[in-house]
Copies of this chain bind each other. A is one copy, B any other.
Amino acid sequence: MALAEYDTKVELVTEHVWQNREAFLRLNPAGEVPVVIENDGPPLCGANVIMEYLEDTRGYAAGKRRMMPDNPDARAEVRRLCEWFLSKFHAEVSDPYVRERIYKVEMPAGAGGGAPDSASLRTARQNMRHHLRYLGHLVSKRDWIAGDAISFADLAAATAVSVVDYLGEVPWNEDDAARSWYARMKSRPSFRPILAEIARGVRPAHHYADLDF
């Protein structure tokens, strides 16, 4: 989504990280996605590293489409909230959901596949409600997640939430401010490929791709 916002063409390649392919581990020893390779440059590992690289290489030239503010305090707030959604929300909500409801379906039993664990899902559901309230709190006191302009924090939050929304697990009726922010994010052209994605073996919630939900 960040690459699309910066009008950067990209060829997507799927990596099944649990296979621990040697060729992939040479690109990213952490064995995680996303990884971006540009021209002859080294692999850029992780969403955070990729976003900062986009800012370093294209930020100034992007003008109004820039996803990072100039002011150091404002940059700190964008980074805090990127970390919030990429790490904390991921650990507390989307990672348990993806592991239990998507990965386990596709993974062989020997690699950890099998039936979802209901205690993990219950905790994830509770955490989702807290996070939705916090998200609503942020976008009700200012236009976007980290301030008055859209930023990497909105992209991090929207993509993180989209995973959970795919599974129909975001209780949108509990927070109008969060819902209207997400409707704005969904209508961005950069978000369209995400709405078209399908996880093998798991169908999206019926409202997932609706801009009006």
Contact = CB atoms under 8 A, between A and B. Distances in A.
B134 A41 contact: no
Given A30-B88, A42-B77, A134-B29, A72 B48 contact: no
A159 to B, nearest CB: 18
As for how many copies of this chain the complex holds, the number is: 2
A202 interface: no
Given A29-B134, A87-B87, A45 B75 contact: no
A213 to B, nearest CB: 27
Interface residues of A, number: 25
Interface string A42-84: 1011101100110011000000000000001101110110011
A119 B19 CA distance: 25
Contacts of A52: 52, 75-76, 79
A88 to B, nearest CB: 6
A76 B88 contact: no
